[in-house]
């Protein structure tokens, strides 16, 4: 196997594999999980390395596997310049953040959990940027929403963290759904979900009548993720996360995912008037609003949060210009913003760490306490402000240039440079505040500890990032030009335009705008006290959180009201709705078409035996309804119905079903009796005549409808898919029992899903019932005391004798299941009944002392066996769950067939036994616990 054939999916999936290892490593040593996270990230980077040269050769690497060919879906990955740039940002800044977080997290914080979340998030991000298939991109997109939820709510005990995380998840998750709709529409228009095809069909999409809908849906996803107005409000609340999370999510990753999609779909969606107004408009508002608000935040991270929003707005605005040069500037600014913002967040974390607060009214004059960090912060903040010789200056210069020329033809274009400069003024002002308030401006006030420099290795990530800011700012051609060129080429899907990365462009308008921003920014900062006062007095306070809570609460109430219209919390009510709609739909169907109700197929003869069975069935069914007030009696009668149904299965040649039904009958009776012990013994009488009549009419009409439908089908000749299975069972699956071959082979995937559900149900019930105490009735239904003999000897002896016989039958049914009625499912039920019989007759303590198998482990082994059979086929390069079979010759036994499906069937068997016994015994323990409770109370 050549690693290079599938290294792209590995890059994205290795972090997911590393996450549980990181969590597990924390058990032994706190720092081990940090090491695991670092090594996993490095490994991901290493696996990416061999193909890094491909984008630089102007090539695109695509690795694709068929996923759901029927729907045109591929599991496909793509590496071009844009993916490469983002992968580098994610992995390199990820490495720095991991190093930083190792020193940031305090001993009380669980490192395992943090790094596990972190790795999962990293994997999701890599999945987004490396996806070739758009549906797959959306899946990873939603995964980033989920994992960022976990990261933001990392300090679970904090109300702010939980609220912030929930808000982020709601907003970005909803946006993701909108994007999914947009992607589906694109797939529908283009006829493919592969980016290669989509990127080539820009004209097709732009000329489509649904272009505007597609654009709005995609932009909803982008704007929510990248915190663009009016969805920006989740980002400041996400600051409740630990600072390494903020540094990662809000510099290089999470919020950049939206920008990434803008860059990715730029050749497809851009260039129209709608794009210009929507993207440019949202970007411009966000940029100015963010920059303005940032100045008024006293919290260091709050300032950085709004500054992030503002810079994201700037990038979005650039994309909104739709020109090639604007795209260059946007991608350049993505790189620059990632470097200076990550370092600034890290500095904020260091200050928080060393001072115990992030309030800029308290944190002052830190220069002499932490000179090294102060210098780093000042350089990064200057880059953010756009000071010459730093990277932020270059991309801002390009941005100003574009704001002047990009919209020449538009009547409002003269306003754009002015608004942009206005935003830049505030950008300078808040950067200045970050520097001056924190590191100068007197002495720190009211700090609980004396700040000092952080540990050396905590500062190294900041060192590296700031060096990058300087390097890019001074020698951009050396450091950033190559990767920028390929990223732009990939984003534009064409030759990148000529652009200059020179530091000096002569005296021109952009330089003038930069100077105005710097000078007026300083002035605004100088008069900030007045501005703060004016802001507090004159501008209304909009609390996004309250508004958001009110809206979500309103939505919940509304949906609650709508569901209450139909669901009044009563089972009868719910069933009557289902029956009513069923009858109505069938009636509509009957009236709609005029074909005869019944076909002309000859009916089978009815003999005495059948008549008697059917008679019993009818009488017993009616009796259940009549006697349902006495619950125990109703249960006995249901047992009769089950028996007759099994006999019916035998008559109609469905032995597998009959055997299953018989075993299920026993388990059902035991289960219901276990529960009935704690429930009222009588159902209340329905007194109202009106209600009785209504229910009677409804149930009779539903019954007649079902009968007519069944008759309509059965009186016609029809061909089902069973012919295929009958023909292919032996040659394809190696068994003559079609039912079993379908279960373990043709529809093996379904069965796998079903046993997973069964296992989960078993574990779920275990979790629900564990430690539950219920009051047990002290007397029986007629007020008599319970018998004092818990385990009558006759019962004990009989069941002990039968136990090995039942197990033998189970083994027999299992072994021959592939060819004759039987198989893992029925055998599992029989074995479970055998075990249950021992619990019934001899008690839980006696049986547990003799059967020392933990049913959890049985379930686990069963699931593992089933999955291993599936994956074994994949290792032999067959599709998942492909089975094989061969014939063996043993002495005495003779020639018999052995199929790999049998291991799968064994898995089914174990899961069925484990789950059934686990559920029933857990219910039994419940009564055991309450019994001793009752006895204690008696004493």
Residues near another protein (CB under 8 A) are 608-609, 612, 615-616, 619-620, 623, 632-633, 635-637, 639-640, 643, 646-647, 650, 655, 658-659, 662-663, 665-666, 669-670, 673-674, 676-677, 776-777, 780, 786-787, 789-790, 792, 795, 799, 802, 805-806, 809, 821, 830, 833, 836-837, 839-841, 843-844, 920-921, 923-925, 927-928, 931
Distance CA 887, CA 885 (A): 7
Residue with smaller CB distance to another protein, 509 or 619: 619
Residue with smaller CB distance to another protein, 516 or 635: 635
CB of 239 to another protein, least distance (A): 54
The neighbouring-strand residues paired with 75 are: 65
Residue with smaller CB distance to another protein, 129 or 637: 637
Residue with smaller CB distance to another protein, 45 or 920: 920
For 502-513, the DSSP string reads -S---S-HHHHH
Q: Are 665 and 646 contacting, i.e. CB atoms less than 8 angstroms apart?
A: yes
Residue with smaller CB distance to another protein, 31 or 768: 768
The secondary element (H helix, E strand) that includes residue 709 is: helix 689-714
CB of 627 to another protein, least distance (A): 9
Tokens read off for 827: 């055998």
Torsion sign (Cα): 478, 481, 484, 490: negative
Size of the chain in residues: 939
- A 10 A CB-CB count for 480 gives 24
CB of 911 to another protein, least distance (A): 20
Residue with smaller CB distance to another protein, 164 or 823: 823
Q: Are 671 and 919 contacting, i.e. CB atoms less than 8 angstroms apart?
A: yes
Tokens read off for 778: 């002290």
Q: Which of 764, 770, 760, 743 is nearest to 862 (CA)?
A: 760
Strands, E, within 750-884: which ranges? none
Residue with smaller CB distance to another protein, 761 or 805: 805
Residue with smaller CB distance to another protein, 554 or 615: 615
Distance CA 792, CA 433 (A): 85
Residue with smaller CB distance to another protein, 17 or 805: 805
Q: Are 706 and 868 contacting, i.e. CB atoms less than 8 angstroms apart?
A: no
Rg (CA), the chain: 35
Q: Are 880 and 874 contacting, i.e. CB atoms less than 8 angstroms apart?
A: yes
Residue with smaller CB distance to another protein, 398 or 836: 836
The single-letter DSSP state of residue 896 is E
Residue with smaller CB distance to another protein, 591 or 794: 794
CB of 855 to another protein, least distance (A): 14
CB of 819 to another protein, least distance (A): 13
HEC readout, 320-360: HHCCHHHHHHHHHHHHHHHHHHHHHHHHHHHHHHHHCCCEC
Q: Are 415 and 510 contacting, i.e. CB atoms less than 8 angstroms apart?
A: no
Q: Which of 268, 137, 258, 259 is nearest to 199 (CA)?
A: 268
CB of 243 to another protein, least distance (A): 54
CB of 602 to another protein, least distance (A): 22
Residue with smaller CB distance to another protein, 281 or 843: 843
CB of 726 to another protein, least distance (A): 17
Q: Residue 881: left if φ>0, alpha if ψ -120 to 50, beta else—which one?
A: left
User: Long-range contacts for 414-423 (Cβ within 8 Å, ≥24 apart)?
Assistant: 416/284, 417/509, 417/513, 419/284, 419/288, 420/284, 420/287, 420/317, 420/513, 421/513, 421/516, 421/517, 422/288, 423/284, 423/287, 423/288, 423/291, 423/292, 423/310, 423/313, 423/314
Tokens read off for 341: 């913002």
For 369-436, the DSSP string reads TSHHHHHHHHHHHHHHHT-TTSHHHHHHHHHHHHHHHTTTTSTTTTHHHHHHHHHHHHHHHHHHHHHH
Residue with smaller CB distance to another protein, 366 or 926: 926
CB of 669 to another protein, least distance (A): 4
Q: Which of 656, 667, 622, 660 is nearest to 641 (CA)?
A: 622
CB of 740 to another protein, least distance (A): 14
CB of 683 to another protein, least distance (A): 16
HEC readout, 783-805: CCECCCCCCCHHHHHHHHHHHHH
Residue with smaller CB distance to another protein, 88 or 839: 839
Residue with smaller CB distance to another protein, 503 or 671: 671
Residue with smaller CB distance to another protein, 668 or 715: 668
Distance CA 793, CA 557 (A): 59
3-state SS of the chain: helix, strand, coil percent to 5? Answer: 75, 5, 25
3-class secondary structure, 893: coil
- The terminus-to-terminus CA distance of the chain in angstroms comes to 72
CB of 556 to another protein, least distance (A): 41
Residue with smaller CB distance to another protein, 316 or 837: 837
Residue with smaller CB distance to another protein, 108 or 787: 787
CB of 832 to another protein, least distance (A): 11
CB of 913 to another protein, least distance (A): 15
CB of 852 to another protein, least distance (A): 18
CB of 834 to another protein, least distance (A): 9
Q: Give the rounded distance of the alpha carbon of 776 from its chain centre.
A: 41
CB of 704 to another protein, least distance (A): 24
CB of 720 to another protein, least distance (A): 22
Distance CA 58, CA 495 (A): 10
Q: Are 372 and 347 contacting, i.e. CB atoms less than 8 angstroms apart?
A: no
């Amino acid at each position: 196997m050549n690693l290079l054939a599938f290294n792209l999916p590995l890059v994205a999936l290795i972090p997911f594999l590393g996450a549980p290892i990181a969590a597990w490593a924390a058990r032994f040593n706190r720092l081990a999980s940090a090491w695991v996270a670092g090594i996993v990230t490095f490994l991901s980077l290493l696996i990416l390395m061999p193909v890094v040269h491909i984008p630089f050769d102007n090539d695109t690497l695509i690795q694709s596997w068929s996923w759901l060919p029927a729907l045109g879906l591929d599991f496909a990955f793509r590496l071009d310049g844009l993916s490469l740039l983002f992968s580098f940002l994610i992995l390199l800044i990820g490495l720095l953040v991991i190093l930083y977080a190792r020193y940031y997290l305090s001993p009380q914080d669980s490192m395992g959990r943090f790094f596990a979340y972190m790795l999962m998030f990293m994997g999701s991000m890599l999945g987004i940027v490396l996806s070739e298939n758009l549906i797959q991109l959306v899946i990873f997109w939603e995964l980033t929403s989920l994992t960022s939820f976990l990261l933001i709510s990392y300090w679970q005990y904090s109300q702010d963290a939980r609220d912030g995380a929930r808000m982020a998840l709601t907003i970005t998750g909803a946006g993701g759904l909108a994007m999914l709709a947009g992607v589906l529409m694109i797939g529908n228009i283009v006829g493919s979900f592969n980016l290669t095809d989509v990127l080539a069909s820009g004209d097709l999409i732009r000329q489509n009548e649904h272009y505007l809908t597609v654009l709005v849906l995609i932009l909803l996803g982008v704007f929510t993720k990248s915190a663009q107005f009016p969805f920006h409000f989740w980002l400041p609340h996400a600051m409740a996360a630990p600072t390494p999370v903020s540094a990662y999510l809000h510099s290089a990753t999470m919020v950049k995912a939206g920008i990434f999609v803008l860059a990715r779909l730029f050749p497809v969606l851009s260039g129209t008037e709608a794009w210009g107004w929507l993207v440019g408009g949202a970007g411009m508002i966000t940029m100015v609003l963010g920059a303005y608000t940032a100045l008024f935040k006293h919290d260091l991270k709050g300032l950085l949060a709004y500054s992030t929003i503002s810079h994201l707005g700037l990038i979005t605005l650039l994309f909104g210009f739709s020109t090639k040069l604007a795209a260059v500037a946007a991608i350049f600014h993505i790189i620059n913003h990632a470097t200076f913002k990550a370092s600034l967040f890290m500095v904020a974390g260091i200050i928080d760490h060393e001072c115990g607060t992030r309030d800029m009214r308290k944190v002052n004059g830190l220069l002499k306490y932490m000179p090294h960090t102060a210098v780093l912060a000042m350089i990064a903040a200057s880059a953010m402000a756009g000071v010459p010789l730093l990277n932020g200056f270059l991309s801002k210069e390009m941005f100003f240039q574009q704001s002047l020329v990009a919209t020449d033809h538009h009547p409002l274009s003269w306003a754009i440079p002015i608004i942009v400069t206005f935003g830049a003024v505030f950008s300078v002002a808040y950067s200045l505040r970050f520097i001056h308030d924190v590191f100068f401006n007197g002495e720190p006030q009211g700090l609980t500890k004396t700040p000092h420099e952080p540990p050396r290795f905590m500062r190294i990530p900041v060192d590296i990032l700031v060096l990058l800011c300087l390097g890019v700012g001074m020698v951009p051609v050396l450091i950033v030009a190559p990767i920028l060129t390929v990223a732009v080429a990939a984003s534009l899907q064409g030759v990148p335009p000529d652009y200059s990365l020179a530091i000096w462009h002569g005296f021109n308008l952009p330089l003038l705008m930069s100077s105005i921003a710097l000078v007026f920014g300083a002035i605004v900062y100088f008069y900030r006290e007045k501005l703060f006062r004016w802001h507090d007095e004159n501008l209304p306070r909009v609390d996004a959180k309250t508004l958001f809570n009110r809206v979500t609460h309103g939505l919940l109430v509304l949906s609650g009201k709508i569901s209450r219209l139909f669901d009044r919390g009563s089972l009868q009510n719910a069933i009557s709705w289902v029956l009513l709609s069923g009858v109505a739909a069938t009636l509509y169907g009957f009236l709609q078409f005029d074909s005869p109700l019944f076909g002309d197929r000859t009916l089978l003869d009815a003999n005495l035996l059948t008549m008697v069975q059917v008679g019993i069935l009818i009488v017993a069914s009616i009796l259940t309804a009549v006697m349902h007030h006495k619950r125990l009696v109703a249960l006995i009668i249901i047992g009769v119905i089950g028996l007759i149904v099994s006999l019916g299965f035998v008559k109609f040649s469905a032995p597998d079903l009959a055997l299953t039904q018989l075993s299920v009958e026993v388990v059902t009776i035991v289960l219901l009796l276990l529960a009935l012990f704690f429930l009222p013994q009588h159902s209340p009488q329905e007194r109202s005549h009106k209600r009785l009549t209504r229910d009677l009419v409804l149930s009779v009409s539903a019954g007649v409808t079902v009968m007519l439908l069944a008759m309509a089908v059965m009186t016609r000749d029809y061909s089902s898919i069973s012919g295929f299975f009958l023909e292919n069972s032996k040659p394809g699956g190696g068994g003559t029992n079609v039912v079993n071959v379908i279960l373990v082979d043709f529809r093996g995937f379904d069965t796998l899903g079903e046993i997973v559900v069964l296992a989960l149900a078993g574990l779920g019930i275990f979790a629900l019932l564990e430690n539950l105490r219920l009051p047990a009735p002290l007397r029986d239904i007629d007020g008599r005391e319970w018998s004092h003999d818990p385990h009558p000897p006759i019962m004990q002896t009989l069941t002990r004798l039968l136990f090995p016989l039942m197990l033998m039958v189970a083994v027999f049914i299992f072994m021959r299941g592939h060819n004759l009625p039987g198989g893992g499912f029925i055998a599992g039920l029989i074995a479970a009944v055998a075990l249950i019989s021992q619990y019934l007759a001899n008690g839980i303590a006696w049986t547990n002392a003799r059967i020392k198998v933990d049913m959890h482990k049985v379930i686990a082994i069963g699931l593992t066996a089933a999955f291993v059979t599936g994956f074994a086929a994949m290792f032999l390069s067959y599709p998942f769950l492909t089975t094989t079979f061969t014939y063996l010759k043993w002495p005495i036994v003779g020639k018999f067939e052995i199929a790999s499906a049998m291991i799968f069937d064994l898995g089914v068997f174990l899961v069925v036994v484990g789950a059934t016994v686990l559920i029933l015994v857990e219910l039994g323990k419940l009564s055991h616990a309450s019994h001793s409770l009752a006895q204690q109370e008696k004493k």
